[in-house]
Amino acid sequence: MALSQKSNGASSDGHLMIDLRDVHKYYKTAVDDFHALNNVDLQIHAGEFVSIIGKSGSGKSTLLNMITGIDRPSSGEVFVNGMAVHELNENKMARWRGRNLGIVFQFFQLLPMISVIENIMLPMDFCRMYSMREREKRALELLEIVELSDHAYKLPTALSGGQQQRVAIARALANDPPVVIADEPTGNLDSKTAESVFALFNDQVAKGKTIIIVTHDSGLAKRTHRTALIADGEIVNEYVARAMPTLTREQLLQATHDAVAKNYAAGSMIIAEGTDADAFYIVTKGTVEVVLPRPNQSDVIAVQLGPGKYFGEMEFFHEKKHRASIRASEHTPVEVLAIGYDRLSELLNQSEVTRDALHQFADLHEAENIRKRGGLS
């Protein structure tokens, strides 16, 4: 399911920088083919800071390897900055990668026999970027950014883990790539050092880079623009996760499977008041308006709901008839995910806390609507 909507913080004019379409990855094993990525659709815009989270073995590194071209999808397409990565041959791949992607690994992977500054100059040498003289100057500037100027001519092993990771980030930025990909960049660092590494990524996002990090740290993930949750090789729909945050990963995946996307033109009617209710809806694009009829008065817009917000929960818990109309706002088309009440019921049977949360919202929204319908008018 697509993850195409941007949330707060991302630059609004960002074009599509990373686009994975129906990506599958099978690993051959002695027994059978292991399905490591299943129907992955992931869209990331220029300037976005995206975190990828998921259990060990869920497919996070495999996903990054598809983007970097370190490995190839078994089927599907991968576009990065307009390049069809899945079609690049090995020869072209290395140079393309060197110019377009900065990669930061969990264990730094600096070359131990050459100095810090030589490690940073290496990608520039390899891609023949910048003149010889410029390369050293640029490497020193990058070391200044990561606050390691004093260590330029030391061997990496003379540095602490956090310092080595900062060198690795400077190296990733060597060719000024538009995209930086980092697999557990803070996994081996204490929390204070992890914080300084995270701050460096934040600075780079502010300068317009697109950054994707895999992390086990949900606290860090929350501070990125957007989080993609992966479970058993599949991406959980982020709006489903936002609407029902108390579901487990497996339940979220189930809900993602159960959800059906529906599209509506700007201004069009989605649900008419008085009709039978049969589904729970989560807004994924655009804005919907909940329109309340009032006796002897004009209709009133009770509330506007944007991505991650939902409707249809009131009717699930109360009477199964729509007591308000729902329409797409006049300005943008709308996409919603519909989860049928029978499916929702099964999900909520597995998660009492989600049921309680939705029920509370249903009561709250009902009370608000009654107030607005009667209103001050």
Ligand X SMILES: Nc1ncnc2c1ncn2[C@@H]1O[C@H](COP(=O)(O)OP(=O)(O)OP(=O)(O)O)[C@@H](O)[C@H]1O
Contacts to ligand X by CB under 6 A: 27, 29, 34, 36, 54, 56-62
Binding-site partner at residue 186 among Mg ion, ligand X, none, CB < 5 to 8 Å by type = none
Using the minimum distance from each CB to ligand X, give the nearer residue, 78 or 288: 78
Both tokens assigned to 180: 């930086």
Residue range at the interface with Mg ion (CB under 5 A); choices 53-61, 200-208, 249-257, 345-353: 53-61
- Provide the minimum distance between the beta carbon of 181 and ligand X in the complex, in angstroms, as a whole number: 13
- Note whether 62 binds Mg ion by CB under 5 A: no
Binding-site partner at residue 29 among ligand X, Mg ion, none, CB < 5 to 8 Å by type = ligand X
Residue range at the interface with Mg ion (CB under 5 A); choices 60-68, 241-249, 260-268, 352-360: 60-68
What's the rounded Cα separation, in Å, for the pair 24 and 296? 57
- Note whether 61 binds Mg ion by CB under 5 A: yes
7: Cβ–Cβ under 8 A, 6 or more apart, which residues?
Answer: 225, 226, 307, 308
- Provide the minimum distance between the beta carbon of 214 and Mg ion in the complex, in angstroms, as a whole number: 6
- Provide the minimum distance between the beta carbon of 216 and ligand X in the complex, in angstroms, as a whole number: 7
Give me the residues paired with residue 49 across strands: 211
Give me the residues paired with residue 337 across strands: 261, 282
Binding-site partner at residue 27 among ligand X, Mg ion, none, CB < 5 to 8 Å by type = ligand X
What's the rounded Cα separation, in Å, for the pair 85 and 83? 6
Binding-site partner at residue 9 among Mg ion, ligand X, none, CB < 5 to 8 Å by type = none
Burial of 13 (0-12, 13-18, 19+ CB in 10 A): exposed
Helix axes 132-145, 116-127, angle to 10 degrees: 130
What's the rounded Cα separation, in Å, for the pair 256 and 282? 11
Binding-site partner at residue 62 among Mg ion, ligand X, none, CB < 5 to 8 Å by type = ligand X
| Binding characters for Mg ion, 205-234, by CB under 5 A (x = yes) | ------------------------------
What's the rounded Cα separation, in Å, for the pair 11 and 19? 17
- Provide the minimum distance between the beta carbon of 61 and Mg ion in the complex, in angstroms, as a whole number: 3
Using the minimum distance from each CB to ligand X, give the nearer residue, 59 or 307: 59
Using the minimum distance from each CB to Mg ion, give the nearer residue, 65 or 175: 65
- Provide the minimum distance between the beta carbon of 159 and ligand X in the complex, in angstroms, as a whole number: 24
Binding-site partner at residue 34 among Mg ion, ligand X, none, CB < 5 to 8 Å by type = ligand X
Binding-site partner at residue 107 among Mg ion, ligand X, none, CB < 5 to 8 Å by type = none
- Residue whose token pair is 């934040």: 202
> How do beta strands 101-104 and 49-53 pair?
unpaired
What's the rounded Cα separation, in Å, for the pair 260 and 345? 16
- Note whether 68 binds Mg ion by CB under 5 A: no
Measured from each CB, the residue nearest to Mg ion is 61
- Residue whose token pair is 């909940």: 290
- Provide the minimum distance between the beta carbon of 106 and ligand X in the complex, in angstroms, as a whole number: 8
- Provide the minimum distance between the beta carbon of 118 and ligand X in the complex, in angstroms, as a whole number: 29
Using the minimum distance from each CB to Mg ion, give the nearer residue, 62 or 369: 62
Q: Please say whether the beta carbons of 339 and 315 come within 8 A.
A: no
Q: What are phi and psi of 84, to 5 degrees?
A: -80, 90
- Provide the minimum distance between the beta carbon of 263 and Mg ion in the complex, in angstroms, as a whole number: 35
SS3 292: strand
Using the minimum distance from each CB to ligand X, give the nearer residue, 98 or 233: 233
Long-range CB pairs of 256-261, under 8 A, 24+ apart, other chains included? 256/1, 258/339, 258/340, 258/343, 258/344, 258/347, 259/1, 259/337, 259/338, 259/339, 260/337, 260/338, 260/339, 261/1, 261/2, 261/335, 261/336, 261/337, 261/338
Residue range at the interface with Mg ion (CB under 5 A); choices 27-35, 58-66, 267-275, 346-354: 58-66
Using the minimum distance from each CB to Mg ion, give the nearer residue, 187 or 267: 187
Which residues lie near Mg ion (CB under 5 A)?
Answer: 60-61
